[in-house]
Amino acid sequence: MASGSQNQPDQSLSGILQLAVENTVQSDEPVEREEMTEEKKEFLRNVFNDLHCDEAKEMKKTVDNIKPLLGSSHENDTLVKASLLEHLQDLCQTIDNASGKLHIKSNWSHAKTFLGFF
């Protein structure tokens, strides 16, 4: 009796690479590659720069924006502080997710109380 696992494709990296090679259409025609224009290079540079976010700098900027509002109890300032804290929390989650952590270790209710937001 044949084992069911023998019919399963190899899902290791080398197995996936082998599957890709076996299923790639071969062409006798040479592939022409052109040098990218400066405009296209600049476009790609801008796209990659826009995708990159230095979370540490962004967190510092967010904290710096919160500090002047700490003593204020004005309703609009409270909304701004809440928004900035949510942004800070999102940055922390991004860092935690990038680190491979499965859950977020944060206690924002204590932080908000400590900072006098709510």
Q: How confident is the model at residue 45 (pLDDT cuts 50, 70, 90)?
A: confident
Is the pTM higher than 0.75? The answer reads: no
How many other CB atoms are there within 10 angstroms of residue 66's CB atom?
19
How many other CB atoms are there within 10 angstroms of residue 70's CB atom?
11
pLDDT attached to residue 51: 75
Spatial CB neighbours of 85, under 8 Å, sequence gap ≥ 6: 66, 108, 111, 112, 117
Q: How confident is the model at residue 111 (pLDDT cuts 50, 70, 90)?
A: low
Q: If you write DSSP's letter for every residue of 17-45 in order, what string do you get?
A: HHHHHHTSPP-SSPPP--PPPHHHHHHHH
Q: What is the pLDDT of residues 58-101, one digit of tens each?
A: 889 999 999 998 888 888 888 999 999 999 988 888 776 655 54
